[in-house]
């Protein structure tokens, strides 16, 4: 795993990827600090992070689009499979390298509250709690980007899908106000989710029988629950959209509350998509 980590870090810093990522992040945070802390004279640095979280929509896909997709395109993933390490160690090595690249500009950002504290009253506990949550939020999104990259050998396609998925998650809480809150609307959305998960299972396993079995069992379970108590589905879709939003959970920290359940959600989210990334590589390895 250490060898993979070192190899990935050399690649990132020998190309423009790490520098473009860091420049975008620092520029966006710097713009937020100028608008809030300097021009508006607001002492809450966490507001800057709330403003800066939008930059994840662009920089995370840029950072993660090549992590596995390039290996597939150049057929160098076959060399990874021949190494005396497991697929899990390969994915973790690549993921840790991405976190190191992410931590470097974030370490620079961590100095900002101390600088502003010299010229005014800055809530350091809230600021650094929000910075920690900002890091874990980014780590969760990077894990999502790694999984998307593992599904294709086209870097541009991986970046485009990553931008779309993260943008949808960013606005999911706002969009939840416009989606149907009726039981029928929730039922349709549940069936759509079952179809999407079935497609993912089929792609990862290349087993049509397993995918069709999932469609039958999951779809049947949803239909039985709906027929048993339709009112339980009322308002379910907007509630799920808000619950699944990573950014909505981050805003709790911006409001001055250190939400441990949000941290657990971010970590679980990252672990889940890293697991899916491992399964995606294992499928290709045995094929």
In a domain, 257, yes or no: no
In a domain, 267, yes or no: no
In the numeric block, which tokens belong to residue 143? Answer: 């894990």
Length of the chain in terms of residues written: 287
Q: How far apart are CA 92 and CA 5, in angstroms?
A: 8
Measured torsion, CA atoms of residues 210, 213, 218, 220, in degrees rounded to the nearest 10: 170
The string of pLDDT tens digits covering residues 141-189 is: 999 999 998 888 888 888 888 899 899 888 887 776 666 667 777 777 7
In a domain, 256, yes or no: no
End-to-end CA distance of the chain: give it in Å, rounded. Answer: 23
Q: Which domain holds residue 76?
A: 2-173
To the nearest 10 degrees (0 to 180), the angle between helices 2-14 and 17-33 is 70
In a domain, 249, yes or no: no
Q: What percent of the chain is helix, strand and coil (3-state, nearest 5)?
A: 85, 0, 15
Q: What is the pLDDT of residue 12?
A: 85
Q: What is the pLDDT of residue 179?
A: 65
Q: What's the DSSP call for residue 35?
A: I
Question: What SS3 class is residue 274?
Answer: helix
Q: How far apart are CA 255 and CA 46, in angstroms?
A: 8
Q: How far apart are CA 136 and CA 246, in angstroms?
A: 10
Q: Tally the domains of the chain.
A: 1
In the numeric block, which tokens belong to residue 158? Answer: 């991986």
Mean pLDDT, rounded, of the chain: 83
Q: Report how far apart, in Å, the C-alpha atoms of 239 and of each of 174, 189, 232 are.
A: 11, 12, 12
Query: Tens-digit pLDDT profile for the chain (287 aa)?
Result: 787 888 888 888 888 888 989 999 999 999 988 888 788 777 788 888 988 888 999 999 988 888 887 777 767 666 666 667 788 888 899 999 999 999 999 999 999 999 888 887 888 888 899 999 999 999 999 999 999 988 888 888 888 888 998 998 888 877 766 666 677 777 777 777 778 777 777 766 666 777 778 778 888 888 888 778 777 777 766 777 777 889 989 999 988 888 899 999 999 999 999 998 888 887 766 65
In a domain, 12, yes or no: yes
Q: How far apart are CA 45 and CA 67, in angstroms?
A: 32
In the numeric block, which tokens belong to residue 104? Answer: 């470097």
In the numeric block, which tokens belong to residue 3? Answer: 């060898």
Q: How far apart are CA 157 and CA 9, in angstroms?
A: 23
In a domain, 255, yes or no: no
Q: What is the pLDDT of residue 85?
A: 75
In a domain, 36, yes or no: yes
In a domain, 11, yes or no: yes
186 near 229, Cβ under 8 Å?
A: no
């Amino acid at each position: 795993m250490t060898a993979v980590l070192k190899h990935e870090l050399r690649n990132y810093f020998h190309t423009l990827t790490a520098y473009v990522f860091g420049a975008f992040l620092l520029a966006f945070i710097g713009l937020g600090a100028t608008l809030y802390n300097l021009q508006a004279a607001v002492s809450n640095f966490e507001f800057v992070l709330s403003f800066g979280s939008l930059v994840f929509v662009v920089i995370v896909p840029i950072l993660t689009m090549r992590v596995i997709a390039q290996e597939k395109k150049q057929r160098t993933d076959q060399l990874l499979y021949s190494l005396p390490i497991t697929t899990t160690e390969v994915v973790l090595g690549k993921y840790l390298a991405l976190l190191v690249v992410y931590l470097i500009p974030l370490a620079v950002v961590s100095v900002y509250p101390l600088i502003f504290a010299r010229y005014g009253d800055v809530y350091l506990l809230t600021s650094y709690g929000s910075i920690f949550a900002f890091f874990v939020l980014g780590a969760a999104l990077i894990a999502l980007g790694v999984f998307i990259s593992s599904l294709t050998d086209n870097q541009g396609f991986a970046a485009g899908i990553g931008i779309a998925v993260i943008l949808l998650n960013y606005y999911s809480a706002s969009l939840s106000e416009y989606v149907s809150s009726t039981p029928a609307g929730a039922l349709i959305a549940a069936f759509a989710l079952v179809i999407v998960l079935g497609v993912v299972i089929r792609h990862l396993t290349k087993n049509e029988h397993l995918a069709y079995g999932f469609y039958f069992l999951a779809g049947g379970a949803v239909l039985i629950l709906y027929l048993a108590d339709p009112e339980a589905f009322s308002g379910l879709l907007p509630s799920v959209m808000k619950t699944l939003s990573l950014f909505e959970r981050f805003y709790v920290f911006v409001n001055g509350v250190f939400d441990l359940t949000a941290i657990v959600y971010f970590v679980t989210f990252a672990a889940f998509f890293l697991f899916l990334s491992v399964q995606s590589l294992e499928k290709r390895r045995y094929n």
